[in-house]
Amino acid sequence: MACRISELVLDCHDPDRLAAFWCEVLDYVELDRDDGSIEIGPREGFGGPQPTMILSPSEDPKTGKLRLHIDVNATDRDQPAELERLLAAGATPVDVGQTGEESWHTLADPEGNEFCLLRTRLSPL
């Protein structure tokens, strides 16, 4: 028997703002609100093949590069087109020590949390 990743929890200052951003990026919807936290996920809800995200309010400042980050892949366009879409949604390029030769783009969400846009296009679920 093994475990599955069912939820990713991200502490943030503005759960509403990050929920809107990540819903746009991942084509997720708001699933629940509880004690200031917002759970977003696929339209099918919790327990499917994709994990949900819980955006949990915190006043703690982000310090340094995240030790764990999210990687995303486009499903319906090539990497350059997806990069344009993510930048328009509010992502910003971020330098975490890349060489410039990487096949991925390192970005940050509106609160500065790093994530990468990988090159390979994946089939939608």
Residue 74 has pLDDT above 80, yes or no: yes
Q: Can you give the residue ranges of every domain in the chain?
A: 1-58, 65-125
Range 65-125 has CATH code 3.40.630: no
Give pLDDT, residue 12: 95
pLDDT tens, position by position, 75-90: 999 999 999 999 999 9
Range 1-58 has CATH code 1.10.10.10: no
Alpha-carbon distances, residue 45 vs 13, 26, 48, 122 (angstroms): 24, 13, 7, 21
Give pLDDT, residue 1: 73
Q: Does the predicted TM-score (pTM) go above 0.85?
A: yes
pLDDT tens, position by position, 56-72: 999 998 888 888 899 99
